[in-house]
Structure 1
C-alpha cells in the first residue's frame, strides 16, 4: 500500500475506525474512576490527581506514542507489533524475543477484553432490573457467541454497523461531560501535571493507583494493530474526536466526584450518576451496546496478528479468509473460535466483571514495553537523532515500567490468568519458530540437473508400472536449480514412480497483497518442468486451480503435450491424469536428539496434528493428492553397542 492511500481520509473509513478500533479505549469511562476509588472515600487530591494522570496518559501514551509516532512504522500499510518487528528483524536476531512476548501478550488480552467489556455492559442493567442477576452469566456467554459468529461477515460490515453506534456513544460522553464541567470550571486545573505528581508521591498508596489509571489506555496497542483495517489517516483524524469526548467525560465525572467528597462509591458508577433520571435507561442501553463493541478491536487485531505470525513462522499454517475487498479485512476461523473458547472459560471462572478487573491490563503492559523496545530500534536504524531515540526509550520505558509495577499488585487476585494465557501462546510461537529453524537446518537440497537424465530414463522404463501421466510434487526449494533430496528419494527409492512428465511446484508468498504471478522453467522438454507461483499474502492458495491455468497456457503456447502417451489413448487425444504428491514429515525413531530439541519437535508434531493439512493449505483436490510420509531424521543415533554373536 502506498502512503498516499494509507493516509487517505474518507467518511466511510472514519466510520469503520470508530466501529472497530476505539471500542476498548472508548468504554474505559465505564470503570476507570470506579477502579481508582474502589472502597476508598472520595477526596479532592485523588480526584484531581487521577484526572491529571488520565489526561497525561492519554496524551503521552496514546496520542504521542501511538497515534503520532508508531503509526509511522507501517509494513506496506499493515500495523501491529509483528509488522514493526519485520521492519527491524534483519538488524538483530534477539529482537525476536520482544516480538514474541508482545504478540503473545496482546493475543492474551484479546481473550480478557471481550468478557470484561460484555460483563460490564450487561451488569449495568442491574440498576433497573435487579432480578436479572441470576441470568447474567448466560446472557454474557450468549452475547459473546453472537459477537464471534458475526466476525465471518468481515470487519468492513462489522465496522459500518458499529460505527454509527460508537459515534452516538462518544457524542453522549462528550455532551454529559461538558454539561457537568460547566458547573465547576475549576476542575480543568487537573490538566496540570502537578496534581498527578502530588497524588503519586504524597498520597498514601497513590503510586499503586496507576494500575487503575492504566485502564484508560489499554486499547492503544489494538489501535496500532488495526491500522491495516482502516488506514493511518482515518485513525489520526477520528482520534481527535474520540480523545476530546473522552477527556470531557473524565473531567465531567471529576466534577461529580468533587461534589461528593468524603462519600464512598459503593458500586455506583459516576458515568450513570451524571445522567438525568429520565435518560438513565437509554444511557445504559447505549453503554451496553458500546461495551459489547469494545471487544471488536481486540478480535480484529488478533486476526491481523495471526496472519503476520504465520508469515514469520511464529504460528501454524491456518486458513485465512478475506470476506471483503478492503485491504486488511480478514477472518481466521480457527483463531476466532479459539478466542471464543478462551472468553467463555474466563467468564465461567471469574463470573463477574469485578473479579475480571484483576486480570485486565496486566498483559497489555508487557506488549507496550516490547513495542517501545522495537520502536526505539526502528528509530535508530532509520537514522533518527541518537539523543531523540534515547529520550524516547527512557521516557516510555519509565512510564510503562511504572504501569507494569503498579499492575503487578493484581497478580494474585487474577492477573496470573492473563499471564498464563500469554505464556501458553508464547510457548506455541517459540515451539513453531524453533522447529522451523531445526527443519531448515536439516532439509537437504540437491541439484536438479544431476537427476534430469535419470528422470527421463525412468519415464521410459516400461518394466515399471506407470504411477501417473503427470506427477506433481509440492516443493519448498525456492531456487530453480534445486530440489529436496526427499523428493528424489520418493521418486526413485521409496517406490519408483514412473510418469510421463515430472512437475515440481513451489509457492512463494510475497509482501504485496494481490500478486498472482507464475514462472515456468522447462528443465527437460516434455519430461521435467518446474513452476514457481508468486502469490500475495491476501491471495487464497488454490494451487489446484492455478496449476490448471498454467497447463492451459502452456498447451495454448505449444510448450507441452498433455495427451496420454499410451498409443491407444493418444490416438483418441485423451488427456493424461494429474496426480499431486505432498510430502508430510514425521519424526523418525532413528533420532538421537538433545532433550530440549526432542521435546520441541514432539510438541511441534503434536500441535501440527490439530492444524490444517498441507494439501488443504495449498487448496489441492483431495481426489488427486497422495500424502506421503517421510522421516525427518535430525540426528541419527550412533553411539550404541550392537554385537554379533554365534550360537
Structure 2
C-alpha cells in the first residue's frame, strides 16, 4: 500500500466526526458563499426574462401581466416549494433530486425511473445556463459597440470558468460572493430608480393581472414559457444545499428575492413608460441604466453572468457523484479539492459540460435564440421532484389530503409551464430534450446492468473453502503470490463469497498468500457515513473487512484499508510482518497486493433481446471510463486486474455433429477420382 496523509485518514478512525453534516446554523461567511454559488441562475434572470415576455411591441397589459406572473412564480414555486418546503427534505444536510430519491427509494422500484428522468433533464438543461447568462451580459456591449463579435468573447469566458472548477467551490464561492452582493445591490438600485418614475407598476402585485394575461389575453398562456425563465435555478438551489446549508440559503434568499423583484418591477416601469414602442433590439435591463453607468453596469453583469454558470456546474457535479453511489452513472473519477464537506470536482463532467456549452454558443449564436430553447427540460425535473417530494411527505406522516393538495397545486403549476414550454421544441428546445434522452439512456443502462450483474453473480459459503485456503497458504510447493492478498468482494453477507474469487484463488492461478483479506464496500443512503467492521474468518489466515461509506464519500479504499490494518496491529489482532525468513528477522512489513475482478461479456451467451441490448451498451460505455481499481482509490502499483467472463445465459442448443477422423472408402475413391 502507498502511504497517505494521516490527516486525511482520521475520519475512518472517527466515524462520528466523519458523519457530521451541515445544519441550519447561519454564518456571515456561509451567506456570502451562498450568494456566490447558489443564486447565479436565478440571480441573472433579469438579464433576459422581461425581453422574452415582451419581445416586440410594448403593451401595458402584457407588462403588468408578465410582472405579476413573475412575482407569483417566484413566490409559489421558488419560495414556498423549494426554499421553505423542499429544503427540509435533506439527506443529512445534502440536497438534490438524487438525495431526495435516496430518502424514499425503498418505497417503490418505480421511483428510480422518476429520479433518472429528473436528474437527466436537470443536467441537460444546465448545459444552456452558462451560454445564455454570459451571452445576455456580453451582448449589452453592442449598445456601445454595435459591430462587436460576441461569440468568441462568450466562449473565452466559459472556458475560463470551467478551468476554475478544479480549485473547488469554496474558493469560487468566497471569490464570487462579494461580486454577487454588488450585483444584487445594483439590481435593487436600478429597480428602485425605475419604480420611482412609474410607481403604478406596483399594482402588478395583484394576482388578477397574472390571471388576466393567462386567460383573457390572446396567446397569453404561451408566455408562461418565458415567465418560467425566472425560476429555472430553483432546482440547482436545492442541488447545492450541501455546499452552504439551508439556514444560509433561506436567509440569503430574502435579500435575493427582494432585489430581483425590485429590478423586475423597475424594468416594467420603464417599459410602461415606453408603451407603444418596439422593444426589438433593446434590453429593458440595460435601458434602466444611465448612460454614464452603462459600461460599469455591463462589466458587473458580465461577472454576475459568469457566476450564474456556477450553480448548475456545481449542481451537476453533485448529481453525478450521487448517481454513481446509486449505481446510475459510470464510476468516473471524483476529486475533492478542499477538506470542506460537499466540495467536489468531477473532471469528466467538467469536460462534457464545457464541450456542450461551446456547442450551444456556436449553434444558437445569440441569447434570444437560446431563450427559445431554455427551460423545457427543467420543467420535467421540477415535476419529478414534486412526485418524489409527495412520497417523502407521506413517509413523514403528512396527512394524505394535504399531500394530494400539494400534488394537485404544483402538478397544475408545473404542468402548465411544461405545456407552455412545448412550443420551444422546434425552436431549439429539442437540443436539451435530446441531451436529456441520451443521459437518461446512460443512467437506465447502468442501473439495469447493475441489477443484471447482481442477479447473475454466484455466491458460495466461504466456510466451505477455509480449510482449502489454510492448506494453500501453507503449501510451500507453490510460489508465494503475496504476503497479504486483498480481494474486493461484492458479497453483502459476511458468510458468503463470490464463486469467481474462489476460482481466482484456486484455479485461475493458485495464489498462495500468508493472509487473505476480503474487502466489501456498502454504500449507505446517508451521504457521509464512514464505518467499518472486521470479521476473523480463519485465525491468522483470512479476514473480512466491511466498509459502510456514505454515497457522497470518496472511495479511497487503499487509504481506509491501511487505517484499519494500523488499528488491528495496535490492538494486536494481526501480525503483518513479512513471513519471508530473511525479511521477518528484520521486522519488515509484508507486501500487500489487491486483486480486482473485472467482468467482460462472454461470447457464450444466448440473451433475451432487451438484456442483450443493455449489456452490450453497458460494456460499450465501460471502455471509455477508468477501471474499477482507480474508482476504489487503489494504488495501481500493487493491483492486479483479472478479467472474468459474464455469462447471462449459456447457449443451449449447439448443433455440432461428430465425424470420424478416418476417411471412409467412398471418401477415398471420391478424392482419387
TM-score by length of 2: 0.92
1:26 Cα deviation after fit: 1.1
Distance 2:297 2:462 in 1: 70
Match of 1:17 among 12, 20, 34: 34
1:38 Cα deviation after fit: 1.3
Distance 2:21 2:577 in 1: 50
Question: Is it true that 1:218 corresponds to 2:221 in the alignment?
Answer: no
1:634 Cα deviation after fit: 1.4
Greater shift, 183-192 or 148-157, is seen at 183-192
Q: Which residue of 2 aligns with 1:250?
A: 264
1:555 Cα deviation after fit: 3.6
Distance 1:514 1:36 in 2: 44
Question: Is it true that 1:358 corresponds to 2:375 in the alignment?
Answer: no
Checking the alignment, whether the CA contact within 8 Å between 1:124 and 1:288 is kept in structure 2 is no
Match of 1:95 among 91, 94, 111: 111
Secondary structure of residue in 2 paired with 1:532: strand
After superposition, where does 1:240-639 map in structure 2 within 5 Å? 240-511=254-525, 515-639=529-653
1:545 Cα deviation after fit: 3.3
1:99 Cα deviation after fit: 0.8
Secondary structure of residue in 2 paired with 1:359: coil
List runs of 5+ in structure 1 lacking aligned partners.
none
Q: Which residue of 1 aligns with 2:62?
A: 46
Checking the alignment, whether the CA contact within 8 Å between 2:52 and 2:368 is kept in structure 1 is no
Q: Which residue of 1 aligns with 2:165?
A: 151
Match of 2:46 among 17, 24, 29: 29
Distance 1:311 1:106 in 2: 18
1:550 Cα deviation after fit: 3.3
Distance 1:538 1:82 in 2: 11
Deviations 1:161-201 (A, max 9, x none): 11111111111111121222122222111111111111112
Deviations 1:186-233 (A, max 9, x none): 211111111111111221211111111111111111111111111111
Distance 2:22 2:304 in 1: 29
Q: Which residue of 2 aligns with 1:78?
A: 94
Aligned length: 644
Deviations 1:26-63 (A, max 9, x none): 11111111111213x11111111111111111111111
Shift of the 45–348 alpha-carbon distance from structure 1 to 2, 3 Å rule, reads same
Deviations 1:108-155 (A, max 9, x none): 11211111111111111111122322xx22211111111011111111
Q: Which residue of 2 aligns with 1:642?
A: 656
1:589 Cα deviation after fit: 0.9
Distance 1:184 1:546 in 2: 65
Distance 1:219 1:332 in 2: 21
Checking the alignment, whether the CA contact within 8 Å between 1:3 and 1:77 is kept in structure 2 is no
Checking the alignment, whether the CA contact within 8 Å between 1:100 and 1:426 is kept in structure 2 is yes
Deviations 1:328-377 (A, max 9, x none): 12111111111111111111222222221222111111111111111122
Secondary structure of residue in 2 paired with 1:316: coil
Secondary structure of residue in 2 paired with 1:522: strand
Greater shift, 271-280 or 539-548, is seen at 539-548
Shift of the 125–495 alpha-carbon distance from structure 1 to 2, 3 Å rule, reads same
Shift of the 300–575 alpha-carbon distance from structure 1 to 2, 3 Å rule, reads closer
Deviations 1:558-587 (A, max 9, x none): 433334444455445454432211111111
Secondary structure of residue in 2 paired with 1:584: strand
After superposition, where does 1:146-225 map in structure 2 within 5 Å? 146-225=160-239
Secondary structure of residue in 2 paired with 1:6: coil
Question: Is it true that 1:7 corresponds to 2:24 in the alignment?
Answer: yes
Distance 2:591 2:165 in 1: 40
Q: Which residue of 2 aligns with 1:113?
A: 129
Checking the alignment, whether the CA contact within 8 Å between 1:473 and 1:487 is kept in structure 2 is yes
Distance 1:571 1:229 in 2: 52
Distance 1:358 1:411 in 2: 8
What is the aligned-residue RMSD (CA, Å)?
1.9
List runs of 5+ in structure 2 lacking aligned partners.
1-17, 664-673
1:86 Cα deviation after fit: 1.3
Deviations 1:419-472 (A, max 9, x none): 001111111100000000000101111111100001111222233222222221
Q: Which residue of 1 aligns with 2:147?
A: 131
Distance 1:570 1:177 in 2: 78
Distance 1:500 1:108 in 2: 51
Secondary structure of residue in 2 paired with 1:47: helix
Checking the alignment, whether the CA contact within 8 Å between 2:492 and 2:520 is kept in structure 1 is yes
Distance 1:139 1:287 in 2: 14
Distance 1:618 1:601 in 2: 22
Q: Which residue of 1 aligns with 2:76?
A: 60
Shift of the 636–187 alpha-carbon distance from structure 1 to 2, 3 Å rule, reads same
